[in-house]
Amino acid sequence: MAIQGPTTSGKTRLAVALAHELEGELVNADSRQAIAELSIGVCKPTPAELQGVVCHGLDWSHLGHQFSAAQYLSLATGAIKEISARGHPAIVVGGTGLYVRALLGGYDFGRTTPEEARMRRPIPADNQPQLVAVATQDLARLDPERAQQVDLGNPRRVIRAAELARAGTRAYQSPPSWSIRKLGCHVSAKELRERIQVRSDRLLGQPLREEVESLVSKGFSAELLARSAIGYSEVVDWALGHCPRQEALERVVARTWRYAKAQMTWLRSEPDLVWVDANASLDEMVSQGLAVLLTGPGARFR
């Protein structure tokens, strides 16, 4: 099973409840929560929130290190095989659409040509602004769908996506070796904005400031933290006195809302996704999820 949805839609809460019902284990599919050093700012589930449920993939990457979809695919596939070998179902949960699609869609990122491998060389810093500007234009022209999905704030990903678009190349895809059921947590736009406001207000507090200060004391630069996830750059500016808390909060809310809208755009193109009402009570959401499992094949990752 896979559980998807925009940020703040209650994916983890539903996944934990279903894991208890099915004696399952979770596999994280959130690229930011996969970074071992980040916790509060990426809303990584706490032991209390997991309620004893095992969650794989919360420490597969490290701050400042590149972590590709191909690396995620390899580790997540291995985790699912281990879970299956123990006789339990795997529940994939997270908001990074490419991770879920690669895992469930049978992607194979290993089938690349020497030319594609050459494209992955480091990008000289002095050439980056020009390369990003041209790459953004080419990507919008050659692959509009991918242009809507890629993080335009990440130069490496924009340039890489444009290079593949120019070459007419995408990840190789073959039928997956398992059948699955996919749930989407649906929240109305009004409710989603309210949830984002509440969570952002809660996020910008002393615990996140202390996390940022602790990471800086360990040698991670403020610039690196600012690039790591929504909320960190705002907390850095707030902590350094560059802006008041209210301004930082407004920036976090605006960025999170843009991200949530991008996630919804992605999910609207996701095949075979069955929506559950995330405004309902948790018991009702679990009932809806279990009903979906009973309506067709693939109740378990095997």
Residues 65 and 207 in one domain: yes
Dihedral of CA 89/95/99/100: which sign? positive
Average pLDDT of the chain to the nearest whole number: 85
Does position 114 have pLDDT exceeding 50, yes or no? no
Based on the fold, state whether residues 150 and 50 are members of the same structural domain: no
β-pairing, 55-56 vs 273-277, is unpaired
pLDDT higher than 80, residue 274? yes
208 with 242, same domain?
Answer: yes
Whole-number pLDDT of residue 178: 62
What are the pLDDT digits (tens) for 131-179? 788 888 888 887 776 777 777 777 777 877 777 777 555 555 555 566 6
CB-based contact 279:188 (threshold 8 Å): yes
- Checking if the pLDDT of 15 tops 50, the result is yes
Residue 92 and residue 4 in contact, taking contact as beta carbons nearer than 8 Å = no
Reported as a pLDDT band with limits 50, 70 and 90, residue 288 is: very high
In a domain? residue 302: no
Which residue reads 């996944």 in tokens? 15
Together in a domain, 192 and 229: yes
| Domain co-membership, 189 together with 205 | yes
Which amino acid, 80?
A: I
User: Is residue 251 included in any domain, yes or no?
Assistant: yes
Q: Select from 155, 170, 185 the last residue of a domain.
A: 170
**Close Cβ partners of 169 (under 8 Å, ≥ 6 residues apart):** 112, 113, 116
In eight-state DSSP terms, residue 123 is P
Which H helix or E strand runs over 90? strand 90-93
User: Domain limits at 257?
Assistant: 2-109+171-294
Give per-residue pLDDT as tens, 22-70.
999 999 999 999 999 999 999 999 999 999 999 999 999 999 888 888 8
Segment 83-97 shows an average pLDDT of 94
* Residues 179, 163: Cα–Cα separation, whole Å: 32
pLDDT, residue 299, reads 36
Looking at residue 177, its pLDDT comes to: 60
The structural domain count of the chain equals 2
Tell which wins on pLDDT, 40 or 240.
40
Given pLDDT bands bounded at 50, 70 and 90, which one contains residue 284?
very high
Residue 81 or 299, more confident: 81
Mean pLDDT over 116-123 rounds to 45
Q: Which residue has the higher pLDDT, 232 or 120?
A: 232
281 is a domain residue: yes
Residue 40 located in a structural domain: yes
> Is 44 within the bounds of a domain?
yes
161 and 97 inside one domain = no
- Same domain for 243 and 185? yes
Question: Given 137, 154, 170, which residue is the final one in a domain?
Answer: 170
Identify whether the C-beta of residue 22 lies closer than 8 Å to the C-beta of residue 89.
Answer: yes
pLDDT band at 109; cut points 50, 70, 90? low
CATH number of the domain enclosing 55: 3.40.50.300
Residue that is last in its domain, among 149, 170, 191 = 170
Give domain status of residue 300, yes or no: no
Which residues have a Cβ under 8 Å from the Cβ of 3 and sit 6 or more positions away? 11, 14, 15, 18, 91, 92, 93, 182, 183, 184, 185, 289
Pair of tokens at residue 85: 């070998």
> What is the mean pLDDT of the segment spanning 14-18?
97
Residues 257, 124 within the same domain: no
- Is the residue at 211 inside a domain? yes
* pTM given for the model: 0.78
Let me know: does 216 contact 225? Beta carbons within 8 Å.
yes
Query: What is the rounded average pLDDT of the residues 199-211?
Result: 93
Distances (CA, A) of 291 to 13, 16, 213: 18, 17, 46
- Residue 118: pLDDT band (50, 70, 90) is very low
Q: Among 189, 184, 14, which Cα is nearest to 100's?
A: 184
Q: 168-206: buried (b, 16+ CB within 10 Å) or exposed (e) per residue? A: eeebeeeebebebbbbbbbbeeeebbebbbebbeebbee
Inform me whether the pLDDT recorded for 298 exceeds 90. Answer: no
pLDDT band of 87, cuts 50, 70, 90: very high
pLDDT for 201 beyond 90: yes
Band the pLDDT of 122: cuts 50, 70, 90: very low
Task: Give the number of C-alpha atoms closer than 13 A to the C-alpha of residue 144, restricted to the C-beta side.
Answer: 2
Asked if 175 and 160 sit in the same domain, the reply is no
Q: Is there a domain that residue 266 lies in?
A: yes
**Does residue 113 have a pLDDT over 60?**
no
The predicted structure's pLDDT at residue 106: 67
The answer on 74 and 182 residing in a single domain is yes
Average pLDDT over residues 268-288: 92
Looking at the fold, whether 165 and 191 belong to one and the same domain comes out as no
For residues 274 and 205, membership in a common domain is answered with yes
Query: What is d(CA 95, CA 267) in angstroms, rounded to the nearest whole number?
Result: 10
pLDDT of residue 126: 52
